[in-house]
Amino acid sequence: MRIYSAPDYYHASRIAANIISAQVIMKPDCVLGLATGSTPIGAYEQLVKWYEKGDLDFKEVRTVNLDEYCGLDETSDQSYRYFMNHHLFDHINIDKANTHVPSGTAADAEQACADYNEVIRSMHGVDLQLLGIGHNGHIGFNEPGEAFDKETHIVTLSDKTRQANARFWDGDLSQVPTHAITMGIKTVMQARKILLVACGEDKAQIMKDAFTGPITPEVPASVLQLHNDVVLVGDEAALQYLL
């Protein structure tokens, strides 16, 4: 496991964007696994800048996102499809038909999960999976206690996760969806390379638990200790117990 520490969020985001860029340059038709949340926004901003400078070309890139809230579609500004369009896809030359986010509004949710697994398989898997980490160690929306052998599935969001995300609904917990569709841990672990980004003092303890503690479903990100190509990028605050 390689660890890159940066003095602050801006520089951590640049390192993350550099790693994503390297993947796109090395394999222009690569499959990027993408994440939402606050953490990757800086990396996406940087990728857009490099695209605008002419340094990056996304026309052959394909993407699969980790997760989506149940009940929200791209018309909701809190949906992860909206987030991805807004922060990245609308600003680069990617073909939107090559971008995939799980459907949170499919009539048949089980079928939507199976279809998403098939999308990933049809692309021969993910080359580089970008991850954030929840305060409870979740990756994607794989909450503590989830089995490690799951592919895309529907989850009930934990109170901790809903409370953490209520900030996107002006703190109104009642607005935060109760369920989500997420790639499973098995799907994440099948990515050829994993890039996890964490910033801020509030992520320090979970980073310690996940990467120096026991491998347990109670800390979903701890499973990444078993992956043979993981890069951790963060600021010094988040990585303080790992340096």
- In the complex, the residues that contact ligand F6R under the rule CB under 6 A are 35-39, 66-67, 132-134, 138-141
- Is 67 considered catalytic here? yes
Give the shortest CB-142-to-ligand F6R separation in angstroms.
8
Burial of residue 119 (CB within 10 Å: 0-12, 13-18, 19+) is middle
Distance between alpha carbon 77 and the CA centroid of its chain, in Å? 18
Distance in angstroms (rounded) separating the CA atoms of residues 102 and 214: 31
Name the catalytic one among 65, 87, 142, 143: 143
Name the catalytic one among 65, 68, 87, 138: 138
Give the shortest CB-40-to-ligand F6R separation in angstroms.
7
Burial of residue 215 (CB within 10 Å: 0-12, 13-18, 19+) is middle
Cβ atoms of 241 and 204 within 8 Å: the answer is: yes
Backbone angles phi, psi at 162, to 5 degrees: -65, -40
Name which of 58 and 141 has its Cβ closer to ligand F6R: 141
Cβ atoms of 66 and 35 within 8 Å: the answer is: yes
Instruction: Return the number of other C-beta atoms located less than 10 Å from residue 108's C-beta.
Output: 10
Name which of 59 and 135 has its Cβ closer to ligand F6R: 135
- Is 143 considered catalytic here? yes
- Is 138 considered catalytic here? yes
Give the shortest CB-147-to-ligand F6R separation in angstroms.
17
Name the catalytic one among 65, 68, 87, 136: 136
Name which of 5 and 136 has its Cβ closer to ligand F6R: 136
Name which of 94 and 188 has its Cβ closer to ligand F6R: 188
Distance in angstroms (rounded) separating the CA atoms of residues 99 and 95: 7
Closest CB to ligand F6R: residue number: 132
Catalytic amino acids?
67, 136, 138, 143
